[in-house]
Chains A and B, each alone.
Chain A
Amino acid sequence: NAGVMQNPRHLVRRRGQEARLRCSPVKGHSHVYWYRQLPEEGLKFMVYLQKENIIDESGMPKERFSAEFPKEGPSILRIQQVVRGDSAAYFCASSPGAPNTGELFFGEGSRLTVL
């Protein structure tokens, strides 16, 4: 079984450009989470989505960041007009049900570098 697939693994953007990060969850998982990891820091929760719904976006910056998980296709994390401070590793995770007691399955991350 394929795990969580993220692409691209590495992305370089210039300031002001857009970054799109994709995440295909484990087959059968309908819950997706995005986390951001800055150097020397832990993972910071960004957003939790189910198919076509944003459940919790309390960790998302108010501007420039958006996420979706359409009925068909991967989840997308979109960052508009990137700035240097957006440089980080972005991890997607999925779970088969609500995140009560189960583990999250993580992808290998997308590393964004903003020049």
Chain B
Amino acid sequence: AQSVTQLGSHVSVSEGALVLLRCNYSSSVPPYLFWYVQYPNQGLQLLLKYTSAATLVKGINGFEAEFKKSETSFHLTKPSAHMSDAAEYFCAAHTGTASKLTFGTGTRLQVTL
């Protein structure tokens, strides 16, 4: 069964610092991978997706993620955090044959002055 693990339920960074949110997947077949962001009391918005093209994927709001098959990881990064980045971030995976996205438990990002 496919699973998605997000290490760290809460991450706090200073404004301007590097953001690194970790995601590991387990899948018997190469998955399609996604990062979504959820702002308070809102739905999920797609940040970026990996679908077996380039391993480094650029998304909206300056975020990017790198697919590393050897590490079964898809970590999300942003060089310089902004206060508006404070939100909850979800990693999700899809094998292409399954009918559903499998989500991680989420990482709440806090950005401090």
Q: A residues engaging B (CB < 8 A)?
A: 4, 33, 35, 40-45, 48, 55-56, 58-59, 91, 93, 98-101, 103-104, 106-109
Contacts and interface: CB of A to CB of B under 8 A. Distances in A.
Interface of B: 9, 32, 34, 36, 41-46, 49, 51, 90, 94, 96, 98-106
B39 to A, nearest CB: 10
Contacts of A35: 103
A48 B9 CA distance: 28
A107 B43 CA distance: 5
Chain B interface mostly? loop
B51 A42 contact: no
Contacts, number: 61
A108 B100 contact: no
A99 B94 contact: yes
Chain A interface mostly? loop
A45 B101 contact: yes
13 contacts: A33-B100, A33-B101, A42-B105, A56-B99, A59-B100, A91-B43, A93-B44, A98-B99, A99-B94, A99-B99, A99-B100, A108-B41, A109-B42
Given A42-B103, A45-B101, A109 B43 contact: yes
B44 A106 contact: yes
Contact of B42 (A40, A48, A108): A108
Contacts of A56: 99-100
Nearest to B92: A43
Nearest to B45: A106
